[in-house]
Every structure is written in structure tokens, then in C-alpha cells.
Amino acid sequence: GDGAAAGSYGYTNSGYSVYEEENDRLTESLRTKVSAIKSLSIEIGTEVKNQNKMLSEMENDFDSTSGLLGATMGRLRTLSRGSQTKLLCYMMLFSLFVFFVIYWIIKLR
């Protein structure tokens, strides 16, 4: 009777061993996937920080450009009160030129 019990016990142990090996394999696979997701989320966080920094710099650039254009428009209003229409046209053309140069510089950035 001991031989049958021992054989049955060996069979049971081998069954558990198969399940244990499968669990170990699946655990390692899950560990690899979790590690990949962790590194990806760290990279996403770094990219978000860089994008926020760039947006902040762009906001500052637009604020300074807005101030420059506001001052130019104030000067144009001052000129328009006089009768110097030719000078006003030159100033408007110059303002458009400056606007397009600034736009071009921002687009290249």
C-alpha cells in the first residue's frame, strides 16, 4: 500500500510543480510588463514637464509681443490724429512687416 500512496503523492507533487512553474512564469511576465509601464509613465511625466515649460515660455513671448503691438498701435493712433496719412501708411506697413517677422520666428521655433 505504501507504493501506491507514494506514487500518488509524487503525481500530486508534479501537478503542483507544473502549476507553480506556470505561476512563476506568469509572475515574471507580469513583472516585465509592470516595469515597462513604469518606465513609460516616467517618460510621459518628463515629456509633460518639458511641454509645460515650453508653453510657459511661449506665453511669456506672446505677452511681450502683445505689449509691443499695443505700443505700436498707440503710436499709430497718435499719428492718425494728425493729417500725416503718408506717414501713417508707412507705419502700418512697418507694423505688418514686424508682425510677420515675429510670426515667422515663432513658427521656426
**Position 103 in a domain:** no
Q: Is the pTM of this model over 0.75?
A: no
Distance CA(2)–CA(19), nearest Å, equals: 26
Question: pLDDT tens track of the chain, all 109 residues?
Answer: 444 444 445 555 666 788 899 999 999 999 999 999 999 999 999 999 999 999 999 888 888 888 888 888 887 777 667 666 777 788 889 999 999 999 999 888 7
Residue 48, pLDDT score? 95
CA-wise closest residue to 98 among 76, 80, 77: 76
Grid cell 515649460 is found at: 53
* Cα end-to-end distance, the chain, whole Å: 85
**Position 88 in a domain:** no
**Position 38 in a domain:** yes
Amino acid at 99: F
In degrees rounded to 5, what are phi and psi of residue 84?
-95, 70
Where in the sequence is the domain holding 37, given as residue range(s)? 13-82
Query: How many distinct structural domains can be found in the chain?
Result: 1
Distance CA(13)–CA(20), nearest Å, equals: 10
Helices (H), the chain: 2-81, 85-108
**Position 50 in a domain:** yes
**Position 70 in a domain:** yes
CA-wise closest residue to 102 among 76, 51, 75, 63: 63
